[in-house]
Amino acid sequence: MAPNYSHLVALLLLVVISLSSFGNCQYDEDTKQGASYIFGDSLVDAGNNNYIPTLSRANIPPNGIDFRASGGSPTGRYTNGRTIGDIIGEELGQPYYATPFLAPNCTGEAILHGVNYASGGGGIMNATGRIFVNRLSMDIQVDYFNITRKQIDKLLGPSKAKERISKNSIFSVTIGSNDFLNNYLLPVISMGARITQSPDAFIDDLLNHLRGQLTRLYKLDARKFVIGNVGPIGCIPYQKTINQLTADQCVALPNKLALQYNARLKDLLAELNDNLKGATFVHANVYDLVMELLTNYKSYGFTTASKSCCGNGGQFAGIIPCGPTSSLCSDRDKHVFWDPYHPSEAANILIAKQLVDGGPKYVSPVNLRELRDL
């Protein structure tokens, strides 16, 4: 009796059909998963500063030592592995890391998979980060997105471009720390601003500028936003070291300024949610998230929340930035801080996962998975 092959044939046919449609629709499949357009400072810079003349650079070892995609070579990321922006993209199923805007390969279809405009030393204000000679401030980052926006029109045609930007793209903004650390709180270089402006007036100025910047992105069809608040900048190893604190102390003034700014930021995002039709502004409460890690670091598997893994100087290795001559810890995933300023990849993973799937204590009115699916 001849065996009945009909099931087998049907199955093979199905496999062939699905394989071929996968091949044809590779681009559509990839784009459906969405992209990140990332704005901000060194917390999320993925290499832009490699291409500008600046004193703020992370493309030297051992930065990137745990970054798998580069085989452990430095990329310009200010951490040992992935940034929060990289991890969020992965968690949301985006097939590529956002490419640095200034990188030579940030052309053609690559821009549909996300672009990163962030720059170490950058801030909301143009004057922020002057100590580094050069950096991309937020106004310039938005100017650059305006360029990308026109390129996307050319690639997809205006109507598909608009749909992709408004529905399948997440705009993340991680900025503000440098406006305090490398502007308002910086003696000498920015003394002017601090003498002439009260904290309230300075914070007013910051939020008015940020409102303008976010509104410009909205005018360019961005609709899904996530804005990080400023973390506990009085608790970074640099601040602890120069102020000669003990391991569990933080410097009061920087944290106080951050909290003051953060309260007003929350109001601004509520205002924009009301006033900019069709847009969702998600508030990412980085301050409380990082404070939780610092306070309960042991329960997250860390052995220190005060000493940087890569750095030199003082009790917390908190003065000289990470570079080839730095002392390097052997248990990188046991340190909350990679260097005097920036969290380790292990900390970034915990932060990113809360933002993607966490509740309203840390991310509101929706988390990033819900934002993607809106």
Ligand X SMILES: *[C@@H]1O[C@H](CO)[C@@H](O)[C@H](O)[C@H]1NC(C)=O
Beta pairing partners, 169: 35
Q: Write out the DSSP string of 225-248.
A: EEEE----GGGSHHHHHHTT--TT
Choose among 251, 263, 318: nearest CA to 287.
263
Kindly state the tokens that stand for 104.
Answer: 């030579």
Query: Which C-beta is closer to ligand X: that of 218 or that of 338?
Result: 218
Give the nearest distance from C-beta 150 to ligand X in angstroms.
7
Does residue 113 carry a catalytic annotation? no
Q: Are 64 and 81 in contact (CB under 8 A)?
A: yes
Nearest distance from residue 299's CB to ligand X, in Å? Answer: 35
Nearer to ligand X, 96 or 300 (CB): 96
Name which of 115 and 290 has its Cβ closer to ligand X: 115
Q: Which is nearer to ligand X, 167 or 219 (CB)?
A: 219
User: How far, in Å, CA of 275 to CA of 277, rounded?
Assistant: 6
Query: CB-based contacts of 356: which residues, under 8 Å, 6+ apart?
Result: 88, 91, 92, 367, 368, 369
Instruction: Find how far residue 139's CA is from the centre of its chain.
Output: 17
Please list the residues that pair with 335 across neighbouring strands: 304
Contact 343, 337 (CB under 8 A): yes
Q: Return d(Cα 305, Cα 24) in angstroms, integer.
A: 49
Q: Which of 36, 41, 42, 113 is catalytic?
A: 42
Query: To the nearest whole angstrom, how small is the minimum distance from the Cβ of residue 174 to ligand X?
Result: 19
Q: Active-site residue among 113, 209, 335, 342?
A: 342
The position carrying tokens 């940087």 is 308
CB of 219 to ligand X, least distance (A): 4
Q: Using CB under 6 A as the criterion, which residues of the chain lie in contact with ligand X when the complex forms? A: 96, 99, 103, 105, 110, 126, 139-140, 146, 216, 219-220
Q: Identify which of residues 103 and 152 has a Cβ nearer to ligand X in the complex.
A: 103
Nearest distance in Å: CB 209, ligand X? 7
Q: What residue type is assigned to position 333 of the chain? A: D
Nearest-5° Cα angle at 281, 210 to 47 = 65
Active site residue 42: yes
- Residue 185: alpha-carbon gap to chain centroid: 23
Check if 335 is active-site: no
Pull the structure tokens for residue 211.
């409102």
Residue number with CB closer to ligand X (153 or 288): 153
Active site residues: 42, 339, 342
